[in-house]
Amino acid sequence: MTPEEKRVLIDEIKEIVKEEIILAIPDIIGNLMREQSVIFKLNYQYYKDHPEFTDHKDVVRAVTEATEGSHPGMSYEKILELATPKIRKQIGEIGKLDMKSANRPSRSLPRLTMKPDHGEL
């Protein structure tokens, strides 16, 4: 096979692959939309079942993501089930923190006095 024939064959294969990829895009987008819809419904129901978590969505998100990372491939329902006790514990620990008062360090610097020799021998 000559280099020209190889190039023509490769170009034909590239066109076929491009066409197949373009034809698959609607199915891919449909699957992603369906998956996001299911997750949205699960989240809505989760916060409905656990209204005490609505003010702590950042904690719920962080713990859920950590649980999901520790258990790849697990269903989202099971991940939420595993994460719930951890979320409660985390919210309990945050509740003990005093977020209103803080001891701020002094930012005033006293005037430094320099010796006239500037460290010379």
Q: Cα(24)–Cα(19) distance, rounded to whole angstroms?
A: 9
Asked whether residue 118 is assigned to any structural domain, the reply reads: no
Residues 6+ apart with CB under 8 A from 80: 42, 46, 64
- How far lies 56's CA from each of 1, 50, 87, in Å? 66, 11, 9
Tell me what pLDDT residue 88 has.
94
Query: Which residue matches tokens 């998956």?
Result: 35
Provide the residue type at 116 as one letter: P
Residue 76 lies in a domain: yes
Model pTM greater than 0.75? no
Structural contact between residues 80 and 64, judged by C-beta atoms closer than 8 angstroms:
yes
Position 111 in a domain: no
| Assigned domain for 120 exists | no
Task: Tell me, yes or no, whether 21 lies in a domain.
Answer: yes
On whether residue 41 sits in a domain, the answer given is yes
Number of domains composing the chain: 1
pLDDT in tens, 43-91: 999 999 999 999 899 999 999 999 999 999 899 899 999 999 999 999 9
* 66 in a structural domain: yes
Percent of the chain residues topping a pLDDT of 90: 65
Mean pLDDT for all residues in the chain:
87
Domain that holds residue 33: 9-95
